[in-house]
């Protein structure tokens, strides 16, 4: 009996061991690679291309989504693995009373049992897992596109803050120059002293506005750098070209948006789930075979068996029906996503058109008139032809016109970025 038990143990140890499964290589797009080093410096001006490069390289949200792709690829590999066999040792008729005491009358059975998954369960499970991997990839692309658009908007916010701070700084200098003119007129007796107080107060207010604008620049800078996880950004300058919207962008274009790809991938995954549930309705077969030894006679014999569950009460119909309903919902969602994207495209085209028209009017009509009015008022005040109120009004109107132009440029850049992001045009095409 002892020799038999040792032989059984050696047999179990001699079975080929299953190597630990390792996740198959998940080929990531280069935009998900992370080397931990930023290429942005303090000298070169920041550009939209550099911002998108940093987001593609180091965005925490995108990196996390890419890891989910790798995880689901590992799930797909695991889904293709067959079930492990079961080794069993069974001792009967031992340690009893009378003749059954000890092991002299014992029966020892060494068996091996294997469940066979029928109906293509393993293949269908792997197909479903691969469909979920494709869905994770599509979801990652959506996250990346959304983060890229957010980065573009924050970049243009930063550029706008820089330009506005420079404008207000110039306005503060202009206000100080006007205050000097008023001081000279008061000293010459050509203007009452209260005008000097008023001019100096206006100059101080302009300086305060300029200081506040500089603080806003810093806020925008840190907010932008946080998109790629940079706590101490080095960049200080930024450069943005005026957006160009050609006829192709402004028309009805055929495009593939990540959200549409995600809807298609979701529909495919839901359809694959139907096949998994249909296969689950087919019972699996368990086969067993073994070796039995009779200690009383020293004889031995083979044993074998087959077991299969009877699908009398559960044929997985409910789960299959649920999967079919979800697949139908996936079809509806895909159509809705496409319609929503088309509506967003038309809305974006209208927003770009409106923003460009506004900028054209401000640059061609409003700003030149404001400049001419301010120059005339300052010259007239210095000559004693106009009062200080007229000069202040002209200066405020000029500053308002200049800031309106900056706001219009900012709006046009942002709306153009939204449109390009929507249709996948450069720089959101990866170019």
pLDDT of res. 278: 96
Residues 212 and 286 placed together within one structural domain of the fold: no
66 and 136 co-located in one domain: yes
User: How confident is the model over 208-232, as a mean pLDDT?
Assistant: 94
Mean pLDDT of 9-20: 35
In a domain, 147, yes or no: yes
- Tell me, yes or no, whether 185 and 287 share the same domain: no
Is 171 a domain residue?
Answer: yes
Check pLDDT > 80 for residue 17.
no
354 is a domain residue: yes
Same domain for 168 and 306, yes or no, is no
Distance, in Å, from the CA atom of 166 to the CA atom of 175, rounded to the nearest integer, reads 14
- Is residue 200 domain-resident? yes
| Count of structural domains within the chain | 2
Q: Work out the burial of residue 188: count CB atoms within 10 Å of its CB; fewer than 13 is exposed, 13-18 middle, 19 or more buried.
A: exposed
Tell me, yes or no, whether 266 lies in a domain. yes
Q: Say what the pTM is.
A: 0.82
Using alpha carbons, select from 355, 341, 345, 361 the residue that is nearest to residue 414: 355
Is residue 88 within a helix (H) or strand (E), and if so which, with residue range? strand 86-92
Higher per-residue confidence, 430 vs 331: 331
Q: Note the pLDDT of residue 219.
A: 96
Residues 334 and 239 in one domain: yes
Q: What share of the chain is helix, strand, coil (3-state, %, to 5)?
A: 65, 10, 25
Residue 33 belongs to a domain: no
Residue 130's CATH number = 1.20.1600.10
274 and 399, same domain (yes or no)? yes
Quick one: average pLDDT of 22-44? 52
Residues 244 and 293 in one domain: no
Q: Length of the chain in residues, anyone?
A: 431
Please tell me the distance from the alpha carbon of residue 259 to that of residue 245, in angstroms, as a whole number. Answer: 23
| Domain span holding position 299 | 83-116+282-315
Asked whether residue 144 is assigned to any structural domain, the reply reads yes
Q: What is the pLDDT of residues 40-88, one digit of tens each?
A: 767 788 999 999 999 988 899 999 999 999 999 999 999 999 999 999 9
How many Å apart are CA 70 and CA 78, to the nearest integer? 12
Whether residue 286 is found in the same domain as residue 410: no
Query: 149 in a domain, yes or no?
Result: yes
Per-residue confidence band for 258, with pLDDT thresholds at 50, 70 and 90: very high
Same domain, 299 and 334: no
Mark whether 174 and 303 lie in a shared domain: no
Residue at which a domain ends, from 300, 315, 330 = 315
Q: Which residue has the tokens 């079961």?
A: 86
Q: With 80 as the cut, is the pLDDT of residue 332 above it?
A: yes
- Write down the pLDDT at residue 27: 42
- The radius of gyration of the chain from alpha carbons, rounded to an integer in Å, stands at 38
pLDDT, tens digit (0-9, with 9 covering 90-100), for 159-180: 999 999 999 999 999 999 989 9
Same domain? 205 vs 61: yes
CATH number, domain containing residue 87: 3.30.1300
Q: 259, 293, 315: which is the final residue of a domain? A: 315
Residues 306 and 289 in one domain: yes
- CA-closest candidate to residue 173, choices 401, 399, 405: 399
């Amino acid at each position: 009996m002892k020799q038999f038990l040792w032989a059984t143990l050696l047999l179990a140890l001699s079975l080929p061991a299953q190597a630990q499964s390792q996740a198959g290589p998940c080929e990531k797009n280069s935009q998900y690679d992370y080397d931990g080093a930023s290429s942005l410096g303090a000298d070169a001006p920041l550009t939209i291309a550099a911002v998108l490069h940093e987001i593609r390289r180091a965005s925490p949200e995108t990196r996390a989504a890419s890891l989910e792709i790798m995880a689901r690829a590992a799930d797909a590999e695991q889904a293709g693995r067959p079930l492990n066999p079961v080794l069993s040792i069974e001792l009967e008729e031992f340690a009893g009373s009378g003749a059954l005491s000890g092991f002299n009358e014992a029966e020892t059975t060494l068996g091996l049992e294997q469940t066979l998954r029928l109906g293509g369960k393993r293949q269908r499970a792997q197909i479903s897992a691969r469909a979920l991997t494709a869905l994770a990839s599509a979801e990652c692309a959506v996250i990346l596109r959304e983060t890229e658009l957010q980065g573009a908007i924050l970049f243009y916010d930063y550029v706008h803050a820089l330009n506005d701070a420079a404008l207000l700084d110039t306005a503060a200098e202009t206000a100080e120059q006007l205050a000097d003119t008023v001081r000279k007129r008061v000293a010459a007796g050509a203007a009452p002293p209260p005008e000097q107080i008023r001019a100096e107060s206006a100059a101080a207010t302009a300086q305060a506005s300029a200081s506040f604008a500089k603080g806003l620049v810093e806020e925008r800078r840190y907010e932008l750098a946080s998109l790629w996880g940079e706590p101490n950004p080095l960049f200080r300058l930024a450069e943005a070209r005026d957006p160009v919207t050609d006829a192709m962008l402004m028309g009805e274009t055929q495009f593939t948006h990540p959200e549409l790809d995600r809807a298609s991938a979701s529909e495919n995954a839901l359809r694959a789930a139907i096949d998994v549930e249909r296969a689950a309705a087919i019972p699996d077969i368990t086969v067993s075979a073994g070796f039995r030894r009779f200690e009383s006679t020293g004889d031995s014999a083979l044993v074998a068996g087959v077991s299969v569950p009877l699908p009398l009460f559960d044929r997985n119909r409910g789960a299959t029906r649920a999967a079919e309903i979800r697949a139908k919902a996936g079809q509806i969602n895909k159509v809705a996503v496409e319609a929503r994207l088309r509506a967003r495209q038309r809305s974006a085209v209208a927003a770009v058109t409106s923003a460009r028209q506004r900028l054209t009017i401000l640059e061609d009509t409003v700003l030149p008139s404001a400049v001419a009015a301010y120059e005339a008022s300052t010259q007239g005040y210095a000559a004693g032809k106009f009062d200080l109120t007229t000069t202040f009004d002209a200066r405020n109107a000029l500053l308002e016109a200049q800031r309106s132009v900056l706001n219009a440029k900012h709006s046009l850049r942002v709306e153009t970025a939204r449109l390009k992001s929507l249709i996948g045009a450069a720089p959101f095409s990866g170019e």
